[in-house]
Structure 1
């Protein structure tokens, strides 16, 4: 099927421009640089396509040299958008490498006069940029917060298409009768599908990551960087239920900074914030990766240890107490920490009862002089 040249070009330019403007609008709202680079790539690609269509006007150097430079720059910016999304800095040298190489090769008369050579080199450069985009996502797939497989698939298909074109297409993009050649028809259609798909999946990834980060921020204490009460309760109930199902032990540490109000009154809230941040750092640093740590009140912290017995819980509590006591502003006698320890088995693996028992142990530590660790012991029943 032959498609009219003007229809193909106008459709291509329209889609590139429209999607580019939409990405620009999305970037202006959220200021995510991923969308900024993608928008730039799409708009530059629209201009390059327009210039590339200026054939049969005795100015072939303009579409051959400048038009393809812009199209390669568009591909480089699309790769950069994926690179930035993956958490890496943009590389200006790499962005300009492909367009600069094309411009330099066009100075060579043998290359400029050879249509197959131009198609092969241009297609391979396009494939390289698409492959680099796929590589950026693949190498960071384990640390990125969203599913990158749709974007990986799109970039891989785009790369494969241009590799095939490099070896199997040697015709003029535009025939003299105003019709598109068969392979160029596929180029336009593949470009349209790729642009729409890439814009959709990139916007979806950016949105999903933003939502996850907002959710994470809502579950994290901004001062200490560890979880807040809501995050702890949700996760702790699940872990305790799993421990109950598998008959595994668990230990809860409830920590409260002694004389915290006096520290704030004597040295200001900045000193208090420093003390809280330091204790949060110690608590997170001393606990295991699978343990749950959180700040659940003003100067009150909690840590749930799964698959741990009373001895392990008391040992960890003592290490935390001792390390906190060795901090310079604490060692001056301004601050200390009391810790109550309770066993999940004794509380029936119920979070509410476990917190209550740990609170009673904490009260016992305070009553015994503070700066100490106490294990909850149930009072013997009479009769």
Structure 2
């Protein structure tokens, strides 16, 4: 028990340091750190029975222990993005204190005290099992954490039922015996394992956040160059296998510098985020959009013939002409369209041709769409009708 107390204290420090560094990214760490600290305090209070009145130390230790376990439940709820069940937490804590006090001071009955305590604590663990089952990612980290929490819930419930059916002697930890020894060993071991389990899912969440940071633009939440390069690599593999068309849009805001100069960079950032949202809303789920720095966006559309890409580009251009609810300054875009010429062509060549079409749209008056003529042959009838160049 002493070793478990020391390890819980060390894990509390570790988790608190992680909380200080990633409190905005991973929620619930602070509650778990505080819960571990309360478990340490409960262990110390149990050890004061020789100094303080035994009834007082036991009542205080049980109350602190339940409070610590309950904080882990609140932390798990926050981790999965739910509002902490503070009322339920306070209700269970109050019932545990009242039940322990009643069966300890008013009508001393060890078996009933253990039963009430175990069943109430079981609710905390059962709630966390439910959270992992419903909201946990289908990943080893969630399976590991959920299995540990389920095991702890079963052990606590079994102790409560055993105390109710067979009396307090069967679960008295101060009496040598196989059931009590097993429970004590499991309880001490699980106190550490549950913390490790939560740290496992928290580390998994942090890994996903860091990976997203490395592949996404923090302002617009679309892909950055690295993320776009990864997406292109996947799609070029599909192109080699299935020979499906791969089309790219190069999009640039017109006169964006004037927006920054007139309204400030904060408004300019909001405009960029709005444009990214509009572009994403016009795309299919299989398409991807990236910000290539400044006011330039790139869209990759697999299995999209260039002629069909024209409709997507025109929809983006038209949506930006509509008034926005946020009251942001109006903006227009120029768009260049290019299609993957062959599987041998690289991303830089494709981007270069799309940019060439974009620059042509800029030269011809902006707020328009231009095709890269080298990427494909446009039907002369459609070209004569003006469909290959949209003003």
Residue pair 2:292, 2:298 contacting (<8 A) in 1 also: yes
How far, CA to CA, are the matches of 1:126 and 1:333 in structure 2? 56
> Paired residue for 2:80, among 79, 83, 86?
86
Question: For the aligned residues, what is the CA RMSD?
Answer: 3.3
Asked if 2 retains the 8 angstrom alpha-carbon contact of 1:15 and 1:192, the reply is: no
- 1:277: which partner in 2? 273
1:115 correspondence with 2:110: yes
Distance 1:97 1:181, change over 3 A: farther
Write the mapping of 1:170-209 to structure 2, written as runs, cut at 5 A: 170-172=167-169, 179-209=175-205
Aligned residue number for residue 6 of structure 1 = none
CA apart distance, 1:374: 1.9
Count of matched residue pairs: 369
Does the aligned pair in 2 maintain the 1:240–1:351 contact within 8 Å? no
The reply on whether 1:104 has 2:63 as its aligned counterpart is: no
Q: Is the 8 A contact 2:74 2:86 kept in 1?
A: no
Is 1:131–1:159's contact at 8 Å kept on the other side of the alignment?
Answer: yes
* Rounded Cα–Cα distance in structure 2 between residues aligned with 1:299 and 1:30: 30
Q: Indicate which of 108, 132, 146 corresponds to 1:137.
A: 132
- Distance in 1 (CA, whole Å) between partners of 2:340 and 2:198 is 45
SS of 1:148's equivalent in the other structure is helix
More RCO (CA 8 Å, sep 6+): 1
Question: Distance in 2 between the 1:219 and 1:141 partners?
Answer: 23
Q: Distance in 1 between matches of 2:11 and 2:260?
A: 54
Deviation at 1:184, TM superposition (A): 2.5
- The residue correspondences of 1:1-383 to structure 2 (distance < 5 A) are 9-31=1-23, 34-52=28-46, 59-106=53-100, 108=102, 112-142=107-137, 147-169=141-163, 170-172=167-169, 179-327=175-323, 335-345=331-341, 350-378=346-374
Query: What CA distance in whole angstroms lies between the structure 1 residues aligned with 2:236 and 2:372?
Result: 18
Q: Counterpart of 1:88 in 2: which secondary structure? A: coil
Provide the residue aligned with 1:5 in structure 2: none
The CA distance in 1 between the partners of 2:117 and 2:264, in whole Å, is: 65
Give secondary structure in 2 for the equivalent of 1:89.
Answer: coil
Structure-1 separation of matches of 2:162 and 2:76: 28
User: Is the Cα–Cα contact under 8 Å of residues 45 and 70 in structure 1 kept in the other structure?
Assistant: yes
Any gaps of 5 or more consecutive residues in structure 1? 1-8
In structure 2, the CA distance between the partners of 1:262 and 1:79, relative to structure 1 (3 Å rule), is closer
Q: Are residues 63 and 335 of structure 1, via their aligned partners in 2, closer, same or farther at CA, if it must alter by over 3 Å?
A: closer
Alignment partners' CA distance in 2, 1:193 and 1:314:
63
Q: How far apart in 2 are the matches of 1:327 and 1:109?
A: 68
Question: Aligned pair in 2 of structure 1 residues 15, 259: CA closer, same or farther (>3 Å)?
Answer: closer
Tell me the distance in 1 between the aligned counterparts of 2:27 and 2:348.
Answer: 45
